[in-house]
């Protein structure tokens, strides 16, 4: 059995999230999704629009997802210790960044493959929030 793992905030759930989850599930038998807790989102000086519990429920009800877990830390090795995944799925906006080059090397030492999926440029929670903010100030 191939276990896949991905994480995200999944705030303002949109088509990019669906595509990530659908593509990830197509490459594994069991897909585990870490949803960032509200406290973890605040590390970026951001505040989620939708609460952790609600975001977790939305993701859990996606047909591509087998298990939703709280992501309380950015430590992917800790996540691997907990969930023993074989593949980690990440948006390609992280490809060849110093942070992910290091994570990828560390996971490779554990025989975990990192697969980068195309980032959805036309839609993101940040873009949706900015659009809504602009509409409210007009």
46 is catalytic: yes
Domain edges within the chain: 3-137
| Token pair in block for residue 115 | 């697969």
Q: Which of 82, 81, 77 is nearest to 67 (CA)?
A: 82
Summarised one tens digit per residue, pLDDT across range 57-109 is 999 999 999 999 999 999 999 999 999 999 999 988 888 888 889 999 999 99
Q: What is the pLDDT of residue 14?
A: 86
Catalytic residue among 25, 30, 46, 76: 46
From the CB of residue 63, how many other CB atoms can be counted at a distance below 10 Å? Answer: 9
pTM for the structure as a whole: 0.86
Summarised one tens digit per residue, pLDDT across range 10-42 is 988 888 899 999 999 999 999 999 999 999 988
Catalytic residue among 44, 63, 96, 99: 44
Task: Tell me the fold of 3-137.
Answer: Rossmann fold (3.40.50)
44 is catalytic: yes
């Amino acid at each position: 059995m191939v276990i896949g793992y991905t994480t995200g905030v999944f705030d303002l759930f949109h088509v990019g999230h669906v595509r990530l989850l659908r593509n990830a599930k197509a490459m594994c038998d069991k897909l585990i999704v870490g949803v960032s807790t509200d406290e973890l989102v605040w590390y970026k000086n951001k505040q989620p629009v939708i609460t952790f519990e609600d975001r977790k429920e939305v993701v859990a009800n996606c047909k591509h997802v087998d298990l939703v877990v709280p992501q309380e830390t950015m430590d992917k090795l800790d996540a691997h210790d907990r969930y023993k995944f074989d593949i980690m799925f990440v948006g390609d906006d992280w490809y060849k960044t110093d942070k992910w080059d290091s994570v990828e090397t560390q996971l490779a030492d554990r025989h975990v493959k990192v697969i980068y999926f195309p980032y959805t440029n036309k839609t993101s929670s940040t873009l949706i929030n900015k659009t809504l903010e602009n509409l409210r100030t007009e």
